[in-house]
């Protein structure tokens, strides 16, 4: 299944025209990359395109779907740390913090694995503030796509369209309260997402 999933993703990627839009404020440093759970299907290509330098790990749940994603991501040079806000949260946060402090970057869906849609869990804020690293939002828009009926409205691109990959300007959450920091992440995530999909 992981090999099949990798093949499907590459088919969808290469049968679409690709457009890359990145903030000129992005520096060659480790960061926490965040994107909505429903927008995760093509996110691996940020790393495959060598947009992110250095080691990048994704935070994945212990659910069976998470296990499938873990094995698939290995084919895109992405590591994984298992855990979520609902299962193994403390250990996952500690492991992620150690990884980031050693110079690695994390890729996280702040509303995963089960929502609510477009919410932000505390772990993203804690990780950014404790490690003192910036957050960078990511979004992949497909000009033609399917939308699944699950809680996250998962986007799957159709072939022969255009994929637009965007990365926002880095920002930190230093000095913000938990609620203000979470709202900041939501606001930044919705900038590019809202441009295409709201």
Q: In this structure, are residues 135 and 172 in contact, taking their beta carbons and an 8 Å threshold?
A: yes
How far apart, in whole angstroms, are the C-alpha atoms of residue 100 and residue 78?
A: 14
* pLDDT digits 0-9 by tens, 32-51: 999 999 998 999 898 867 66
The pTM of this model reads 0.89
**Bridge partners of residue 136, in order along the sequence:** 33
Average pLDDT, the chain: 86
**Bridge partners of residue 138, in order along the sequence:** 167
Of residues 85 and 4, more confidence is placed in 4
Which region among 26-35, 62-71, 83-92, 163-172 has the lowest average model confidence (pLDDT)? Answer: 62-71
The structural domains of the chain, with segments of one domain joined by +, span 2-197
How far apart, in whole angstroms, are the C-alpha atoms of residue 33 and residue 109?
A: 9
């Amino acid at each position: 299944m992981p090999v099949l999933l990798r093949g499907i993703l590459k088919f969808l990627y290469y049968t679409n025209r690709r457009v890359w839009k990145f903030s000129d404020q992005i520096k060659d440093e480790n960061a926490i990359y965040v994107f909505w759970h429903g927008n995760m299907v093509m996110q691996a290509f940020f790393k495959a395109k060598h947009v992110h330098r250095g080691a990048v790990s994704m935070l994945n749940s212990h659910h069976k779907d998470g296990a499938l994603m873990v094995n698939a991501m290995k084919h895109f040079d992405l590591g994984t740390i298992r855990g979520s806000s609902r299962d193994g949260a403390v250990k996952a946060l500690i492991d992620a913090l150690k990884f980031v402090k050693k110079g690695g970057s994390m890729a996280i869906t702040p509303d995963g694995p089960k929502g609510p849609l477009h919410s932000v869990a505390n772990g993203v804020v804690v990780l950014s503030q404790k490690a003192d690293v910036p957050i960078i939002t990511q979004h992949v828009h497909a000009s033609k796509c399917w939308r699944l009926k699950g809680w996250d409205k998962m986007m799957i691109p159709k072939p022969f369209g255009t994929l637009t990959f965007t990365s926002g300007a880095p920002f930190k959450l230093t000095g913000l309260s938990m609620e203000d920091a979470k709202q900041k992440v939501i606001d930044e995530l919705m900038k590019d997402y809202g441009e295409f999909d709201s």
